[in-house]
Structure 1
């Protein structure tokens, strides 16, 4: 089932309400400060529930050190800095 855009699976719990699922989603997202991708709810010992979850993948931007600066891209560099990058000795290239 999908609740609030999150793929939710439930094993062994027939009487769980949608509001309870929403509460679990909100709890996990508050604890992790991340958005959920999937949530799996199953019974645990002593009447509690066991929650497994996966978070949405984070966007990743590559950062490199070029001519002494940490940069993602050089598209905003001026001509002088682009020339410096072009003329530098690149190590580890075969």
Structure 2
């Protein structure tokens, strides 16, 4: 990749020089396919009339959901003392 430019905080690498308008068009296209995700980096490889488009999205966090004492929960912070004791004393299978 010979050219590298940063547009809106996104690094775009390419084997051809691109205008800012073209860069924004690629960013818009990727964002339309990946709603609510942030783009980290874009790689463009031009081969004649074809373009190989590669991009990396920022990692997305998730909340672990477990079934504890008959309830689907992420944390036990809302459990009373008895439910917390039941969770603490259960046999954990790994």
TM-score band by shorter chain is: 0.7 to 0.9
Residue 29 of structure 1: how far off its partner (Å): 0.9
**Which whole-Å CA distance do the structure 2 matches of 1:19 and 1:76 have between them?**
51
**Which whole-Å CA distance do the structure 2 matches of 1:17 and 1:48 have between them?**
18
TM-score, with structure 2 as normaliser: 0.78
**Which whole-Å CA distance do the structure 1 matches of 2:83 and 2:44 have between them?**
54
Higher helix share: 1
How many positions carry a matched residue from both structures?
A: 89
Q: Which residue of 2 aligns with 1:2?
A: 6
TM-score, with structure 1 as normaliser: 0.78
Q: What is the CA deviation profile of residues 36-83 of structure 1, one whole-angstrom value per residue up to 9, with x for unaligned ones?
A: 1110112134x2322111111110222222112222211122223212
Structure 2 gaps of 5+ residues are none
Structure 1 gaps of 5+ residues are none
**Which whole-Å CA distance do the structure 2 matches of 1:61 and 1:86 have between them?**
20
Q: Which residue of 1 aligns with 2:30?
A: 28
Q: Which residue of 2 aligns with 1:40?
A: 43
Higher strand share: 2
Root mean square deviation of aligned Cα: 1.8
